[in-house]
Amino acid sequence: MSKLLKIVMAAATLTMVSAGAHAADDVKARNIRFGYGLNEDSVQGRAARYFADELAKASDGKLKMMTFGGASLGSDSQMQSALQGGAQEMMVGSTATLVGIVKEYGVFDFPFLFNNEKEADAVLDGDFGTKLMKKLDEKGLVGIVYWENGFRNLTNNSHPVAKVEDLSGIKLRVMQNQVALDVFQTMGANAVPMAFSELFSALETGVVDGQENPVNTIESSKFYEVQKYLSLTKHVYSPWIVMASKKWWDGLSSTEQGMIEKAAVASRDFERKDNRAGTAKALDALKADGMQVTVVSDAELDRMREVVKPVIEKFSKQYGEETSNELMAAIKAARN
Ligand code: TK8
């Protein structure tokens, strides 16, 4: 081989090596701890594992997401703090537990806001949901996508609830924010804010009589073991939000961020589909497990809606006209 050819070939090899090294630099081997509150056998667990698989495929196994269910990394609030401090990379949890960080997230605890999932998807995935996510940035969190917990229903151990008056005297666990608390106090319940991670044992020991969550979550959390009565109220739609630690996120390359965002969108679509497909089955399972189901009539739901109106008005004012108007316009657009 001539000397010149050798030099040319060496140069070519060098270029190839450095191009390869550049691509490898762009996606580093990383461990990502992803925490969630529900049991592993739940919509959250299935979607978390799907997310991890998608990410592994996209990154040739370099972005390794390890999923931790059952609040084993902490309650929603504890995980949020860990993300803010950079001690944990990612999580999914209720927007209701974010209200102390970005108060406007309280709008998703307004009862009877959405009529169906289609409206919720449009508002969450559209400008309104994106704008709220942006507000997390300055709080050390990065909002990535919304999953759904879904329309919530009431369970308790005292008596069947068929109308708002039946809530009186029931010690009801509510999610930890002022909107949820006011809503259920106004409806006459003895509302007790509590982390979800403490809820099963609180129901078991009678610290509280009841709680509210979507049927899938009631089923996967085995609340049928400690609750007798289920009332189908669909009183509020609960989103979940997938978030990353901003401290950690800012250290990722844009290629890595893009891979995570893309896999997150796939996990969102998977999760919503899985959740919606599972609702009827979960309800059957709850009945089979001995829960007594009350279908709350439309007329009684309308009465509930009237009772909580002042609460919605109060918090709409607190969040400012701009937020409320944007929200209402987004819902209106979704309805048309
Ligand atoms: C689980 C929670 C739970 C929520 C609650 O992570 O606290 O009742 O509905 O499902 O997000």
Residue 109 sits in a domain whose CATH number is: 3.40.190.170
Residue 106 vs residues 111, 177, 323: alpha-carbon distances, Å: 11, 8, 11
Task: Return the pLDDT at 6.
Answer: 55
d(CA 275, CA 6): 61
| 179 CA distance to ligand 1 middle (Å) | 15
Residue 10 within any structural domain of the chain: no
Is the predicted pLDDT of residue 13 greater than 50, yes or no? no
Mind listing the pLDDT tens digit for each residue in 169-214? 999 999 999 999 999 999 999 999 999 999 999 999 999 999 999 9
155 lines ligand 1 (CB under 6 A): no
76 lines ligand 1 (CB under 6 A): yes
Residue 192 within any structural domain of the chain: yes
108 lines ligand 1 (CB under 6 A): no
d(CA 154, CA 304): 13
- Total number of domains in the chain: 1
Is the predicted pLDDT of residue 2 greater than 60, yes or no? no
Range of the domain at 285: 28-335
| Smallest CA separation from ligand 1 atom 5, residue | 196
Task: Return the pLDDT at 297.
Answer: 98
d(CA 286, CA 223): 9
**What is the mean pLDDT of the segment spanning 292-321?**
97
| 247 CA distance to ligand 1 middle (Å) | 25
Determine what percent of the chain is predicted with pLDDT higher than 90: 92
Residue 273 within any structural domain of the chain: yes
Residue 136 CB-density burial (10 A; 0-12 exposed, 13-18 middle, 19+ buried): buried
Residue 7 within any structural domain of the chain: no
Which atom number of ligand 1 is nearest to the Cα of residue 211? 8
Which atom number of ligand 1 is nearest to the Cα of residue 175? 7
Mean pLDDT of the chain: 94
Residue type, 292: Q
- Cα Rg for the chain, rounded, in angstroms? 23
Is the predicted pLDDT of residue 21 greater than 70, yes or no? no
129 lines ligand 1 (CB under 6 A): no
Using DSSP's 3-state secondary structure scheme, residue 10 falls into helix
Residue 8 within any structural domain of the chain: no
| Smallest CA separation from ligand 1 atom 11, residue | 94
278 lines ligand 1 (CB under 6 A): no
237 lines ligand 1 (CB under 6 A): no
Which of 101, 86, 80, 137 has the alpha carbon at shortest distance from 247? 86
Tokens 């020991």 correspond to what residue? 205
| Smallest CA separation from ligand 1 atom 9, residue | 213
Using DSSP's 3-state secondary structure scheme, residue 259 falls into helix
pTM: 0.93
94 lines ligand 1 (CB under 6 A): yes
**What is the mean pLDDT of the segment spanning 292-307?**
98
Is the predicted pLDDT of residue 7 greater than 80, yes or no? no
**What is the mean pLDDT of the segment spanning 86-109?**
97
Determine what percent of the chain is predicted with pLDDT higher than 70: 93
59 lines ligand 1 (CB under 6 A): no
Cα 34–chain centre separation = 13
54 pLDDT band, cuts 50/70/90, is very high
d(CA 119, CA 311): 22
93 lines ligand 1 (CB under 6 A): yes
